[in-house]
Amino acid sequence: MFVFCSYAEAKLKVMPADGSRVLFDGPRCQLDVKEGSDHALYLSDTSAIYRFGP
């Protein structure tokens, strides 16, 4: 699975490893996304870092 922030759309995207389709078109995500030690995703934009997940 490939998780990234789409710069053009400023949204979180999730795609399978083959890149064939978008599985999830998520919340605002302008700069970067990382998985934390708590397995949540942390999304960032120019003003803040947001937690997304369990």
Those residues with Cβ within 8 angstroms of residue 45's Cβ, 6 or more apart along the chain or in another chain:
10, 28, 29, 30, 31
Residues 6+ apart with CB under 8 A from 23: 1, 14, 15, 16
> Which two three-digit tokens encode residue 5?
């922030």
Q: How far apart are CA 39 and CA 49, in angstroms?
A: 15
pLDDT at 8: 87
What is the per-residue pLDDT for 36? Answer: 93
pLDDT in tens, 1-54: 888 888 888 888 999 999 899 998 888 888 889 999 999 999 888 889 999 887
Quote the pTM value: 0.70
